[in-house]
A and B are shown apart, each in its own frame.
Chain A
Amino acid sequence: MSKFALPALPYDYSALEPHIDTMTMNVHHKGHHQTYVNNLNGAIQGEHGGQFKGLSIENIQRNAVKAPDAIKATVRNNGGGHFNHSLFWTLMAPTGSANSAPHGDLKQALETEFGSVDEFKTRFNAAAAGRFGSGWAWLCMDRSGKLFICSTPNQDNPLMEGISEHVGIPILGLDVWEHAYYLKYQNRRPEYIAAWWNVVNWDKVVENYSHAKQQKTPVFDVPLA
């Protein structure tokens, strides 16, 4: 039975410098994300995996609430961790290699929903800075096609119906676990958030938005071993 494998980064470990440091990218990808992959495989390929064996990574999120008790927490935390980080790597790119601002339909949608791109960023920053403890900040689309901002604790994400307070398709996300920024920014999370905008891959976010309009989740590499 095939199991999940760690996807490769779409760029070098040093590609997001100086905004996100090389050491953080190394430990974040090869340490943290790899552990989520290993733990997820352990749960799903084990004796309690049941109907979760062979599920797509996105359906693991949607069904996390229904996982067997013996593996529920592991699936939520590590299934979430694998999805979130696989998406996260694709949302970033070396400065200058992708569009540095939202464009097309997405730009219009952000302006319609939030007033301006700047106002959207201000609200997103607040969600990211205001998430106490570990978690993520998200830009999502709900079932009616409306964009909204939210944050989730730990490795939860808005695809996890029955778990997440806000449900929708995430098109942009930011990891605000301390491991995402501590080596370079220590306790200065707002500085990390501000720097991160320099490496957001808006071409990818625009693509995610157009998928979401068809109620499809973002496309990213989900390699199997």
Chain B
Amino acid sequence: MTSNQLRHLSKVFQTFTEKQFSSSVSKFQLPDLPYDYGELEPYISAEIMRLHHQKHHQTYVNNLNAALEKIHKAEEAGNVGDMIALQKMLKFNGGGHVNHSILWHNLAPVNKGGGTRPDGAFLKAVEKEFGSLDALISSLSTTAIGVEGSGWGWLGLDPNSKKLKLEQCQNQDPLSTKNLIPLLGVDVWEHSYYLQYKNDRATYVKNVWNVVNWKDVASRYEKAIA
């Protein structure tokens, strides 16, 4: 074999290997709900839970995967301009996937801990920051109800100061965009409540506390301060 033939063969082999073992694009999946659609009733209807999970969250997952595929193709083509243009689609849908994946665990049926008040280190931190659990509930309710348009109210942890903080996020912006670790999210996009509560966002937020899974929130807190 001549050196040219060897060089050509090396190139063919290299391309073949790259095609087989190049970084594959992530394919995210809709996580299962940890309970049945009807188990958060009467506070959140089965119909809302089904649509919220099977339609809205599924769409975020599908569009996240599509965005990643497009970004990957643009990257392969060396088209950085296109990669940048796709960041919006990534943020909307990736954020939607992150946020809702947390939400399903932030909630629980009443007979599986929903509404049961927390204790331990997390409760101590809440009392230190807000005075009482009820004060936190009141403040986070106000924060969530006051979101203009579509968005979320969050209880988060500042990883630097280790303090609990409340924040609003627009659209599906993940709480990481505010440099906080998400602990508990209150979704106030109209799709979260409209079929049951219509424009009465305040009553929806008031009722949601009956199904907040404080154990999950506390466990996120403990992970975040570790």
Contacts and interface: CB of A to CB of B under 8 A. Distances in A.
Contacts of B171: 132-133
Nearest to B189: A178
A179 B197 CA distance: 11
Interface in B89-144: 92
B155 to A, nearest CB: 22
A112 interface: no
B73 interface: no
Contacts of B190: 134, 177-179, 182
B191 A35 contact: no
Interface in B184-209: 189-191, 194-195, 198-199
A183 B195 contact: yes
Contact of A135 (B51, B59, B88, B149): B149
Contacts of A155: 148-149
Contacts of A77: 148
B150 interface: yes
Contacts, number: 55
Contact of A182 (B92, B148, B151, B191): B191
A178 B151 CA distance: 12
A153 interface: yes
Nearest to A77: B148
A179 B194 contact: yes
A153 B151 CA distance: 12
B199 A27 contact: yes
A183 B194 contact: yes
A132 B191 CA distance: 13
A210 interface: no
A76 to B, nearest CB: 9
A216 B171 CA distance: 33
B45 interface: no
Contacts of A187: 51, 55-56, 59, 191
Interface range on chain A: under 10, 10 to 19, 20 to 34, or 35 or more? 20 to 34
Contacts of B194: 178-179, 182-183
Contacts of A183: 194-195, 198
Given A132-B92, A133-B171, A187-B56, A179 B199 contact: yes
A92 to B, nearest CB: 20
A186 interface: yes
B170 interface: yes
B148 A154 contact: yes
Contacts of B149: 133-135, 153-155, 177
A31 B55 contact: no
Contacts of A177: 149, 190
B199 A182 contact: no
A32 interface: yes
Contacts of A32: 199
A132 B172 CA distance: 9
Contacts of B195: 182-183, 186
A163 to B, nearest CB: 13
Contacts of A153: 149
Nearest to B92: A132
A73 interface: yes
28 contacts: A27-B199, A32-B199, A73-B148, A77-B148, A132-B171, A132-B172, A133-B170, A133-B171, A133-B172, A133-B189, A134-B149, A134-B150, A154-B148, A154-B149, A155-B149, A178-B150, A178-B189, A178-B191, A178-B194, A179-B190, A179-B198, A182-B190, A182-B191, A182-B194, A182-B195, A183-B195, A187-B51, A187-B55
